[in-house]
Amino acid sequence: MTSLLKKLTIPILLVVSLVFFLNIIPASAISPNQGTEEYCLSCHGEQDLTMTFKDGESTSITISKEMLDHSIHSSKGIECVACHQTIQKYPHPAQNFASKRELSIAYYEACKACHSGNYEKAKDSIHASIMDAGNLATAICTDCHGAHDISAAMEPKSKISATCGKCHDEILATYTKSVHGAALINEGNQDVPVCTDCHGVHNIVDPRTVDFRVQSPEMCAKCHSDPELMGKYGLSSDVYSIYKTSWHGVDVSVYKAKWPTIWHDSAVCTDCHGIHDIGKTSDPNSMVSPQNLLSTCQKCHPGAGPNWTGAWTGHNKISLERTPILFYVDAFYSSFSPFVLWVCVIYVLLQIIRQLFDRVRRNLP
């Protein structure tokens, strides 16, 4: 027994020493698995880490953990290698990108792996068309969504317009002063439209086309024909239905049905209200304010006189309270016209009956 214990003493001491040694090593000293976010941050978490391209431009490749913690990808457990598929371990393979923009465009393709539907829509957008024409500065996924700091869509909603404004800064400045932009940015109103509500999200089309123009009334109607939404702000939800029965609306409908590719000048919403500078009717700067309405109409009707706008009821239904004279005229003709038609129908029927009786009488012996 004594000899057996002597033989086991050394192995036992080795095991005890190994256990003690492992217990005193801090967990952080154990290297993380390659390809994980923790492994990547062990280098890319360092400050002042840069990458230089062939054109001499440099970019920071320092990625903070705080940034990733706020990313929707990281919160869903999507690791770095899901996008950086050619980089699986250290040392990295050589990168031969001529510029920072070339790098961004290369990684833009990585979005397709998970977001194939949106990727295909974006390929049909005006942005993709501009890039195909040779302009590499046009927007790609990471320009709008970010790279390592991707947040959930519409959070916050005001961020959408600010994102578009990185390229379309003049339009953003105009939108910010409009009734829609001011309500969103200054008041946090989530009901008003942002860029993507009108222009689309990934399948953004050219707004200068005939198709976009003739479809714009329906675009505005998504909000302005909603009784519940309009009721919150004391606005009429009949504007679209009244527009459709007006000369402008009927003319646009005919062109849209018969000649959808031919440009025409019948007024759509944006011709009168503006595009990004839409204001309240009470705003002196609004195109449809009492001070500016006549000049707005004269853009298409140069001979319009000062009484022109007074004869227009706007997008409001004829009512006793707003337009009493028109109300009574409309009521008269609404009753008189059916009466005349019924008299004509009865007269024709009586004539037919008389002709039948005359024919029968002539055939009697």
For the stretch 306-352, pLDDT in tens is 888 877 777 877 777 777 777 788 888 888 889 999 999 999 999 99
Query: Residue 60 — φ and ψ, nearest 5°?
Result: -75, 135
Closest by CA position to 250, among listed 270, 274, 273, 266? 266
Closest by CA position to 150, among listed 75, 60, 201? 75
pTM of the model: 0.74
Confidence check: pLDDT of 246 > 50: yes
Confidence check: pLDDT of 362 > 90: no
On the 0-12 / 13-18 / 19+ scale of CB atoms within 10 A, 252 is: buried
Task: List pLDDT tens digits, range 1-57.
Answer: 455 445 545 555 455 454 444 444 444 434 455 557 888 888 888 888 888 888 888
Confidence check: pLDDT of 115 > 60: yes
Across 81-95, 228-242, 312-326, least confident range: 312-326
Confidence check: pLDDT of 189 > 70: yes
Domain boundaries, the chain: 31-152, 154-204, 206-317, 319-351
* Contact indicator for 253, 279 with CB cutoff of 8 Å: no
Confidence check: pLDDT of 198 > 70: yes
| pLDDT: which is higher, 18 or 162 | 162
How much is the CA Rg of the chain, to the nearest whole Å? 36
